[in-house]
Structure 1
Amino acid sequence: MTPPLNLEDAQTRLLALLQPLAVRTYPVDGSARLYVAEKVVARRSQPPVDLSAMDGYATCGGGPWFLKGESRAGAPYDKLLGKGDAVRISTGAQMPLGADAVLLQEDAQVEGTDLTANAPPTARFIRRAGLDFASGDILLEPGTRMGAAQIALARAGGCGSVVAHERPRVAIIECGDELCADPQDCRDPQIPAVNGAMLTEMAREAGGEVTATAPVPDDADALVRAIESQAEAALIVISGGASVGPHDLVKPALEAAGFALDFWRVAIKPGKPLLVATRGDAVVLGLPGNPVSSFVTGFLFMMPAIRRMAGARDCVPRAVPLRLAAPVPEGGKRREFVRAAWTGDGVIAADVQDSSALRPLAQAQVLIDRAAGADPAKTGTFVPCYLLESGGYA
């Protein structure tokens, strides 16, 4: 039996088996969670003209000034201002031709058409044309994930569509005789099936188009049928049955279905019995059945695999240094990903780190990355952490 791979080698091997999918054009408004395949280029400048950044008065030259009208957002003042002229202006309204400064509303004194100032007007409150971007600027680089801000930027740039990679088709299969599909009708000794729903949401968050099966019993033929039923998926994720027990049937089922094992076991905790197998272009990722193990390996392997196929520029999550608000003990024999909560003083590792314990996982905002054999870390020490709510992308 070959030794377990380290995390980075295992991630590299998995990602090398996958390629970004084909591209097509999508409406900007329907592009959330897609990854851009071509540069998104501005078709207009933002702002297109000089605008006021504040409510007040657009002025020309020194005061006092003669008030000649008003410029509102969408209804600009369309005449030229001369020295000593001013117009009332609102935030976001176009600066009139000839105006060279903005007098804040709270600094203005108005009597009829006469305007004086308690403080001088300034050009600092003018948003110059092209402040955000100019026509022809690159707004989004290939590999960028489309989200709320990116959709807003593309629309502001006059773009109604983007060229992006197709969503990877991901199949989720969870197996185990003990699993009950309906959590409201689960009788002992069964337990509610949780991994399928959990991994489905993680896969969607990563950009996948997901199908999930009902729990599959610990039966080799049933597992082979479940695998074959998902033949059109680019990635098949199987939760449970990847270890070495007599009821761990994933490896023999994959062999029966014609898949070849690429690697098995990774030197991490939780999640050691992870496996990867291939058949042609199809890739199977076998995750441990314990929920926390399934979550951690889904975070470290499944989500990066989906990002790779979806065309992401950065596929694996990045650790950021965060301060410990409480000490953590020395590391064990394997690299460990410790569930921890974020507080105003830093991160605190959960008391319970058992790989079946879902409550500490649900309460965690980060995973602390603890090297094998790491020395104890004191309060105030900065440790590498993965941010769970951002998918590991700080």
Structure 2
Amino acid sequence: MISVQEAQSLIKSTVRVLYPEQKNLSEAVGQVLSEDVVSPLALPPFRQSSMDGYALHHADVAQSGITLPVVAESRAGNDTPQVLERGTALHILTGAPVPDGATAVVMKEKVERNDNEAAIQQFPVSEGQNVRSIGQQIRKGDLAMPKNTYLTPGSVGFLAGMNIQNVKVYRRPSVGILVTGDELVLPGNVLPGNDLPGNGGLRFGQIFESSSSMLAAVLRAEGILEVEIRYVPDDEAATIAALRDLTENNDVVLSTGGVSVGDYDFVGTALEEIGVETVFYKVRQRPGKPLFFGRNDDTIIFALPGNPASTLVCYYEYVLPALRLLSGRSDCFLPKLKLPITHAFSFHGERDEFLKATATTEAVTPLDGQESFALRSFAIANALIYLPAGQNTVQPGDLVEAHLLPFFC
């Protein structure tokens, strides 16, 4: 059994980024550039007004209130170059080309317009005032965005403004999910006759399966849509066959349940049978101790505990970082804050604790229902409190480490 830190370090040293692909810019948001992007043009490509107002030569304004004749207008989209003579002004709109001969733009609030004359109420007027110079944002041939940049909506807008339509990005992984358990029933799959009051359509001893929907949802939130889900009973041969197929066809395989040492836990045997190399098995934590991480050629495998809260804790702390590393991201782990805890908490034993919690900018509150089977508290949690075994007793106001979940940071 290894520590939380050792497990995360082994994931970081084991996982390698996937090969690049070319993607349409509009579809590449949330992915990471695999090569530098160089600007094919200057932005702006012409001198541009940053205000509605009047273009003029700054030296023509010798004092406040000087009046200049308004000889023309320039609006956004004007495709005819203009020249402004000294001693005159031109009405100009935001984003419009500044004519040759003009050295400044005075905002309209500083001008009194009377028919074809403009009385300039500002003095002095500085050279370059309210004028965006050619290449002020970026020059042609400059590095627009370096390799390994995470593409945000702002990144997409910036690159689109340079007429860049396709980019090379690291590929998002495909994920196979294996769900095991004789007791599991797929939601909506109720057999006739199972309609006794209060059982929700289940036979005695059955529960509705939720882990596959939960994992598919967190993967979708990460932008991973290529997901294959298999369901198998507690049967060794079926588990081996399903894991072999998923491992051959996906970059990442996640299994839920069957990884412990019970008589009907066949995932460990199946992983060994198909030749998966163990990187680690069991982490000194609660919940989620029986976590397996391994690899088979270029595929990485996580065997997650069967209890849904344990599954989700292990996903956020270990699987999510691996998925982000595969996708080229360097900020792979959950953001961490030191916050005062609002309630006392204590635990026994030598395993670190992850507590479902709600965090604000001022404090973090552990929730009720910390059991590994309980998802109700996870439904409202926006953070996990991480308490190492050496910090097994905390009082209100003590600083603790809060890990912020992706939906809330």
TM category, shorter: 0.7 to 0.9
Residue type of the alignment partner of 1:269? R
Pick one of 129, 138, 141 that aligns with 1:136. 141
CA-CA distance at 1:237 after TM superposition: 0.8
Q: TM-score, normalised by structure 2?
A: 0.84
Residue type of the alignment partner of 1:376? V
Query: Partner of 2:90 in structure 1?
Result: 87
Q: Does structure 1 conserve the Cα–Cα contact (< 8 Å) formed by 2:334 and 2:406?
A: no
Query: Partner of 1:40 in structure 2?
Result: 37
CA distance in structure 2 between the aligned counterparts of 1:311 and 1:134, rounded to whole angstroms: 28
Pick one of 2, 26, 29 that aligns with 1:5. 2
Query: Partner of 1:154 in structure 2?
Result: 159
Query: Partner of 2:321 in structure 1?
Result: 304
Unaligned runs of 5+ in 2: 191-200
Q: In structure 2, the residue corresponding to 1:14 is in which secondary structure?
A: helix
Q: Deviations over 1:284-340 (max 9, x none)?
A: 21111222221121122222222222233x153153325447245356543333322
Query: Partner of 2:380 in structure 1?
Result: 363
Query: Partner of 1:195 in structure 2?
Result: 211
Pick one of 371, 376, 388 that aligns with 2:394. 376
Q: In structure 2, the residue corresponding to 1:96 is in which secondary structure?
A: coil
Answer with 121-130 or 239-248: which moved more: 121-130
Q: Does 2:71 correspond to 1:68?
A: yes
Q: Does structure 2 conserve the Cα–Cα contact (< 8 Å) formed by 1:60 and 1:100?
A: yes
Q: In structure 2, the residue corresponding to 1:289 is in which secondary structure?
A: coil
Answer with 121-130 or 361-370: which moved more: 121-130
Residue type of the alignment partner of 1:190? Q
Q: Deviations over 1:209-247 (max 9, x none)?
A: 533324322222221121122122122111112223333
CA distance in structure 2 between the aligned counterparts of 1:128 and 1:192, rounded to whole angstroms: 63
Percent identical pairs in the alignment equals: 28
Pick one of 102, 113, 116 that aligns with 2:116. 113
CA distance in structure 2 between the aligned counterparts of 1:223 and 1:232, rounded to whole angstroms: 16
Answer with 188-197 or 370-379: which moved more: 370-379
Q: CA RMSD in A?
A: 2.7
1:84–1:335 distance in 2 versus 1, CA, 3 Å: farther
Displaced runs of 4 or more, over 6 A: none
CA distance in structure 2 between the aligned counterparts of 1:124 and 1:113, rounded to whole angstroms: 23
Q: In structure 2, the residue corresponding to 1:227 is in which secondary structure?
A: helix
CA distance in structure 1 between the aligned counterparts of 2:135 and 2:32, rounded to whole angstroms: 26
Q: In structure 2, the residue corresponding to 1:215 is in which secondary structure?
A: strand
CA-CA distance at 1:36 after TM superposition: 1.6
CA distance in structure 1 between the aligned counterparts of 2:54 and 2:257, rounded to whole angstroms: 68
Query: Partner of 1:98 in structure 2?
Result: 101
Q: In structure 1, the residue corresponding to 2:158 is in which secondary structure?
A: helix
The aligned length equals 387
Q: In structure 1, the residue corresponding to 2:370 is in which secondary structure?
A: coil
CA distance in structure 2 between the aligned counterparts of 1:385 and 1:50, rounded to whole angstroms: 49
Q: Does structure 2 conserve the Cα–Cα contact (< 8 Å) formed by 1:168 and 1:209?
A: no
Q: In structure 2, the residue corresponding to 1:361 is in which secondary structure?
A: coil
Structure 2 matches for 1:343-358, cutoff 5 A?
Answer: 343=360, 345-358=362-375
CA distance in structure 2 between the aligned counterparts of 1:119 and 1:152, rounded to whole angstroms: 35
CA distance in structure 2 between the aligned counterparts of 1:154 and 1:357, rounded to whole angstroms: 45
CA-CA distance at 1:382 after TM superposition: 5.4
CA distance in structure 1 between the aligned counterparts of 2:395 and 2:333, rounded to whole angstroms: 23
Q: Does structure 2 conserve the Cα–Cα contact (< 8 Å) formed by 1:276 and 1:285?
A: yes
CA distance in structure 2 between the aligned counterparts of 1:68 and 1:76, rounded to whole angstroms: 18
CA distance in structure 1 between the aligned counterparts of 2:381 and 2:95, rounded to whole angstroms: 42
CA distance in structure 2 between the aligned counterparts of 1:87 and 1:322, rounded to whole angstroms: 57
CA distance in structure 2 between the aligned counterparts of 1:285 and 1:219, rounded to whole angstroms: 19
Q: Does 2:263 correspond to 1:246?
A: yes
Q: In structure 2, the residue corresponding to 1:261 is in which secondary structure?
A: strand
Q: Does 2:251 correspond to 1:234?
A: yes
CA distance in structure 1 between the aligned counterparts of 2:96 and 2:401, rounded to whole angstroms: 47
CA-CA distance at 1:205 after TM superposition: 4.0
CA distance in structure 2 between the aligned counterparts of 1:328 and 1:227, rounded to whole angstroms: 43
Q: Deviations over 1:60-94 (max 9, x none)?
A: 22132221222211116732223432222222222
Q: Does structure 2 conserve the Cα–Cα contact (< 8 Å) formed by 1:76 and 1:96?
A: no
Unaligned runs of 5+ in 1: none
Q: Does structure 2 conserve the Cα–Cα contact (< 8 Å) formed by 1:168 and 1:207?
A: no
Q: Does 2:141 correspond to 1:126?
A: no
